[in-house]
Chain A
Amino acid sequence: MALHSLDILRRSATTTAAPQARSPMEVAKLIDVSICIGCKACQVACSEWNELREEVGSCVGVYDNPTDLSAQAWTVMRFNEVEENGKLEWLIRKDGCMHCADPGCLKACPSPGAIIQYKNGIVDFHEENCIGCGYCVTGCPFNVPRISKDDGKAYKCSLCSDRVAVGQEPACVKTCPTGAIQFGSKEDMIDVAETRVADLKKRGYDNAGLYNPEGVGGTHVMYVLHHADKPELYNGLPSKPSISALVHLWKGFTKPLAMLSLGAIAIGSLFHYVTKGPNEVSKEIENEIEKEDA
């Protein structure tokens, strides 16, 4: 097996178990929205480290640039102006893959090994196995993966799995000048978040809290939010994300059921033929026709 830090927990479109012996610790990235100043250094670090270059684009009247995630922009800052408690608040959220413990993209992916979930919690796209169907986009509860117009492959934040594999933090964490992005074991990050939340509550943010949604089994990218009761304020961050019931229906028990039914029709037909015999024209009718001709 390869690096211990890259031990695989789950692999897309694979019905047998991944190697179970080793149990590396889960990691997490904690983004403290209340400390973020929106400088976009993380965006730059991401494009530097991953050698991505989104087109420069133009100003659309707000600070968002690029205006959306893409194959060349795996993280973008989302700027929202909201009024809370009679005050204008400028909420800035670093958007990107949440690295769900129960990833909808991986559940939906039909290509073996195109999406990998490492035991440390990172959900990684292996584009060499990607067939470009876009099922990951259909499965994701956070609208994160993007299909490249150039090569038809799906891309998203890898949580710098290459850096993490050799004991480094993701590029965005390394560069963040205010310490708004931290990285460590998931347990530690929850501890850090609790301290921050307690501090925010003392400062009057009664609804401050950690965003680590249960609906997707928790995430390996978590947010400290000043308004954890209203995550939608942060550019529509879903308050109760989960894999859609339609995706469960599509990828759940219905598949083996359909396979069994089709197999039953095939085998049933064969046994019908050998037990009942073919349906041939009766001798009686053949004789009638022969008599007509005579």
Chain B
Amino acid sequence: MIRDPKDIKRYNASERANHWVVGMSFILLALSGLAFFHPAFFPLTQFFGGPVWARILHPFVGVLMAVSFLSIFLRFKHLNVVTPADVDWLKKAKNMVDGNDHDMPEQGKYNGGQKVMFWALAGCMLAMTLSGLLIWRAYFHFDVTLVRLGAVVHAAAGAAMIGFIMVHVYAAIWVKGTIRAMWYGTVTRAWAKQHHRGWYRQITGK
């Protein structure tokens, strides 16, 4: 479905599908993970058919997320190399959060904040995967000190990752016209010109 033929394609179908596999597995992992993280969230295990099922399923969904995240990482890593313009953008990010984005430096497909988010999530994902294997007792048997370290890293990286994703989701809600890029792949030209002018020029040649 094309709303306006002049809309700009931001994500193709395969990229979107990949993103939502990561997104759905993240939601399942966050809900079950929080249940093990703190007793206040333990009732969330009911979404998974009870606490034992939550314990059994969590690591398998983790494998799915690790693989699908790796795929999305490889697709987008070259677009997320941090440049001096990004550093400049990050220095001025406070103004933007305050509601004034007029003086922000021109950004390519991703701005400095998005790039920092990309690398922070990649770091968390790596830590989650490795520490997750250390504490997956059904299949792996590591030395207890390693398992203890794994438990600490898994809890810390998990909490950090949930925090980063909350910021990621809020940013998408806050910046109007953004979410459609991940639903059906396009953004308006005005959106691209305002938020990612460098990318807008590159696509439109203007």
A residues near B (Cβ < 8 Å) are 13-15, 108, 110-112, 131-135, 137-138, 143, 147, 152, 244, 246-247, 249-250, 254-256, 258-259, 261-262, 265-266, 269, 272-273, 276-282, 285-286, 288-289, 292-293
Answer whether A246 and B152 are a contact pair too, CB < 8 Å, given A279-B101, A279-B176. Answer: yes
A133/B55 in contact, CB under 8 A: yes
Interface residues of B: mostly helix, strand, loop or mixed? helix
Answer whether A131 and B156 are a contact pair too, CB < 8 Å, given A138-B135, A276-B99. Answer: no
Across the interface, A138 reaches (CB within 8 A) one of B51, B147, B156, B193, namely B147
- Residues of A within 8 Å of B101, CB to CB, are 279
A288/B166 in contact, CB under 8 A: no
- Residues of B within 8 Å of A14, CB to CB, are 39
B97/A276 in contact, CB under 8 A: yes
Please count the residue pairs between chain A and chain B whose beta carbons lie under 8 angstroms apart in the complex.
124
A147/B42 in contact, CB under 8 A: no
Across the interface, B193 reaches (CB within 8 A) one of A246, A255, A272, A285, namely A285
- Residues of A within 8 Å of B52, CB to CB, are 131-132, 152
Interface residues of A: mostly helix, strand, loop or mixed? helix
A277/B170 in contact, CB under 8 A: no
When chains A and B are docked, how far (Å) is the Cα of A269 from the Cα of B38?
A: 23
B residues near A (Cβ < 8 Å) are 6, 35-40, 42, 45, 51-52, 54-56, 96-99, 101, 135, 137-138, 144-145, 147-149, 151-152, 155-156, 159, 162-163, 166-167, 170, 173-177, 188-191, 193-194, 206
B98/A285 in contact, CB under 8 A: no
A278/B176 in contact, CB under 8 A: yes
User: 7 smallest A-B Cβ distances: which pairs?
Assistant: A134-B137, A246-B148, A258-B159, A269-B170, A13-B39, A110-B36, A131-B55
Q: List 17 A-B contacts (CB under 8 A).
A: A15-B40, A132-B137, A138-B135, A244-B148, A246-B145, A259-B38, A262-B163, A262-B166, A265-B167, A269-B167, A269-B170, A269-B174, A278-B176, A279-B174, A280-B177, A281-B176, A289-B193
